[in-house]
Amino acid sequence: MSPIQDPRFSAAHKRDTLQQDRDAGERAAQMEYIKPTVMLLLGGGIVVGSLLLSSGVGSALLYVLVISVELIFGVAGLWAASAIWLGGMGSLGLGILRLAGIYAMTDMIALLLDELAFVGLLIQLVCYVAMLAWLFDLDPAESIFLAILTFVLKIVAGFAIAVVLAGAL
């Protein structure tokens, strides 16, 4: 069979192959949202559920407020690090979802390891760096840098919320 008669060389076959490649790329991009979504639902659900059971609705709502403000500060730090040093971090929505999932999981780890004090904090920090490296596909030095930056911004956000709430109460 000559290339002229072979259907693999036809324009229709090339269009079909190109469309299959596009579909595969879209499916892969959609799969990137699954890991951080599961992390956010699992970690946030356990923390909010625990707060609901132990302290009531007010504490759970306060946690949602705190993690939202921390996320705003963290995304600003993530954006700055991405623009200055790390390179592109993908779409903004996916970056926000990844950081929210990481924050929820580290809060869950902090809640579960509360009794271990300093050792629990070290475990939380190691998990935080590991999740940043895993979800953002960073090398260890980049994930440590980003962990320090976003963790400091998370603490600053927590203090800012405390000051605002202390003034409002």
Percentage of the chain lying above the pLDDT 70 cut: 82
Rounded to a whole number of angstroms, the CA Rg of the chain reads 22
Global confidence as pTM = 0.79
pLDDT at residue 78, rounded to an integer:
86
CA distance linking residue 148 with residue 150, whole number of Å: 6
CA distance 155 to 135: 22
| CA–CA dist 80, 94 (Å, integer) | 16
pLDDT for residue 6: 57
- Domain residues of the chain, as ranges? 1-31, 36-168
pLDDT at 102: 94
Q: Nearest CA to 75 among 105, 96, 52?
A: 96
Per-residue pLDDT band for 105 (boundaries 50, 70, 90) equals very high
137: left (phi over 0), alpha (psi -120 to 50) or beta: left
